[in-house]
Amino acid sequence: MDKNLIQRLISGAIYGLVIILCCTPLGGSWLSSVIPAIKQQYLFYGLMTFFMLVGVWECIRIMKFDSGIYKWLVLPLVAFIYYQFSKRFFYHGFFFNYNLSEILALGLIVIACITLFKFPKELYFESGKFIFTVIYTALPFSFALGLPSFSTLDPVNKPFTLEVMMLFILIWSSDSFAYFTGKFFGKHKMAPTISPKKTWEGFAGGVFFTLILGFFVEKYFPELRGNWMMVGFLVSVFAPLGDLVESQLKRSFGVKDSGNIIPGHGGVLDRLDSFIICAPVVYLYFILEKFV
């Protein structure tokens, strides 16, 4: 068997296991028998924080920051923004009500993506690199903190919920469905200059089968907030966009992989490109769903 394939399988299995332990009550239940102070929300928060910090480092590497002031300011600003959301996470401040600052923050993600595709030369300036890195790393993982719910007062009756785990499952499934549908039926390229392997047939297959999977999530996990057929639709539409955003970022700066922290799979941004876009979109949906 190919040594690279074995490496990919092992590192992929470890990556998946870490996601499961940190995004479901299993991790807290398992570790609490050894270290009672470890709660599930700490594991999830630690995972998102790790992803965000590595993502910042990979952005600095991809975009080739100069050794100027922006390179040294980016991490403190990202940490400050993330800290503001962290306070809400630990004090249950995510109520999914209309909040102007959140809408503006979500709008910044849209503007950053448009700039990347339409005005990529703006990112060659140090100030452009700085602003894009802050938006692309701080905000998505900050919004991800608001997806699950839990109770520190009564964790038995209100355990850590599975929204993030289901989001990962839908993203992985959408990517797989789109890949196999495109492999067997794909003829029309979606974005040949950015991601040559993506086809509109694969995109359609990803949407169709992810909707079906969303139906089963909705049926068997009714305690989750929102309608998960709608979440499945949003994931199937925006997950490919997340992949295109990261591909365009690497293409603009002549980089093949964002990093090598996951052997055989690349960096954190390579693995979480879809999650970075889908997490804020699903968060916005949870806000809007309360008013419909």
Q: Which residue has the higher pLDDT, 188 or 63?
A: 63
Instruction: Give the C-alpha distances (Å, rounded to integers) separating 20 from 25, 208, 238, 276.
Output: 9, 25, 22, 18
In this predicted structure, which of 142-151, 153-162, 222-231 has the lowest mean pLDDT?
Answer: 153-162
Res. 185: pLDDT tops 70: yes
Res. 144: pLDDT tops 90: yes
- Of the pLDDT bands very low, low, confident and very high (cuts 50, 70, 90), residue 157 is low
In this predicted structure, which of 3-12, 24-33, 70-79, 164-173 has the lowest mean pLDDT?
Answer: 3-12
pLDDT of residue 10: 84
- Of the pLDDT bands very low, low, confident and very high (cuts 50, 70, 90), residue 292 is low
Measure the CA–CA gap between 286 and 34, rounded to whole angstroms.
35
Residue whose C-alpha is closest to residue 167's, from 175, 156, 155, 159: 175
What percent of the chain has a predicted confidence (pLDDT) above 90? 57
Work out the average pLDDT over 141-170: 86
Residue whose C-alpha is closest to residue 201's, from 179, 184, 186, 183: 186
pLDDT of residue 193: 75
Tens digit of pLDDT for each residue in 274-286?
999 999 999 999 9
pLDDT of residue 7: 74
Q: Which residue has the higher pLDDT, 129 or 28?
A: 129
Res. 3: pLDDT tops 70: no
pLDDT of residue 103: 86
Helix, strand or coil, per DSSP, at residue 189? strand
Task: List, in sequence order, the alpha helices (H) in 134-267.
Answer: 139-144, 163-185, 200-220, 228-252
Measure the CA–CA gap between 194 and 250, rounded to whole angstroms.
10
Residue whose C-alpha is closest to residue 242's, from 172, 289, 182: 172
Instruction: Give the C-alpha distances (Å, rounded to integers) separating 60 from 38, 52, 71, 201, 268.
Output: 32, 12, 7, 35, 13
Average pLDDT over the chain, rounded to whole? Answer: 88
pLDDT of residue 155: 62
Tokens, residue 59 = 């952005």
Tens digit of pLDDT for each residue in 102-140?
888 999 999 999 999 999 999 999 999 999 999 999 999
Do 43 and 27 contact (CB within 8 A), yes or no?
Answer: yes
Q: Which residue has the higher pLDDT, 71 or 261?
A: 71
Res. 170: pLDDT tops 80: yes
Res. 2: pLDDT tops 60: no
Measure the CA–CA gap between 241 and 226, rounded to whole angstroms.
22
pLDDT of residue 163: 95
Work out the average pLDDT over 36-61: 92
Do 123 and 116 contact (CB within 8 A), yes or no?
Answer: yes
pLDDT of residue 156: 60
Res. 211: pLDDT tops 90: yes
pLDDT of residue 35: 74
